[in-house]
Amino acid sequence: MRALYPALLGAGLIVSACQDRPEPAPESAEPPAPRVEADAPPEGASIMRPEVLAESEAAPPAPLPDPVEARVLFGLGETSLTDEARAMLDALIEGKALTDGHWHLTLTGRTDASGDPETNERLARERAEAVRAYLVDKGIAADRIAIIAAGEPEAGPETAASPMQNRRVDIRAAARRDGA
């Protein structure tokens, strides 16, 4: 009987716990209405803030244009732009709308192998600066133009074949999304 007493006691607790439960609502009662908060969006509306929703629905950005490369040639020891070079730069600016803020330019000044390295580096820089000055006069922001004074080219078959082709400024314009 002692083993049965704890079992009966436990059963009594279970019975008394069940008796304390509220009675279920009759089947004819309607379910309670859903609780609606005052600031809740209408049913079926997005819960995202409008500015976040607009960003997510925006079309993907258009692809950036391909980089543009050009070359301005100079005479022996020259740092001034020729009329032909100006015409080429004008066509480049117009054709690719390089004055738009998303274009960034790198001007690499070069020389032939004649002359000492210090003179060649100075000539290379002055040539690149002449091109930059012209581009700035045409509306391209100076802070979007980088200059590299490369000096004389590395030895190779093309450098010996045409010294005139080595006295140049290489232009590389690349578009960026930041517009900075």
Domain-embedded: residue 25: no
Convert the pLDDT of each residue in 74-95 to its tens digit.
Answer: 998 899 999 999 999 999 988 8
> Which CATH number covers residue 111?
3.30.1330.60
Residue type, 41: P
Domain-embedded: residue 31: no
Neighbours of 129 (CB within 10 A): 17
Convert the pLDDT of each residue in 6-19 to its tens digit.
Answer: 554 555 545 555 55
Which pTM does this prediction carry?
0.63
- Closest residue by Cα to residue 135 from 180, 174, 91: 91
Convert the pLDDT of each residue in 91-148 to its tens digit.
Answer: 998 887 787 778 899 999 999 888 888 999 999 999 999 999 999 999 999 999 999 9
Domain-embedded: residue 131: yes
Domain-embedded: residue 113: yes
Strands (E), 45-167: 68-73, 103-110, 145-151
Domain-embedded: residue 74: no
Q: What angle do CA 96, 143, 123 make, to 5 degrees?
A: 85
How many independent structural domains does the chain possess?
A: 1
Structural domain span for residue 98? 91-175
Domain-embedded: residue 120: yes
pLDDT range class, residue 180, cuts 50, 70, 90: very low
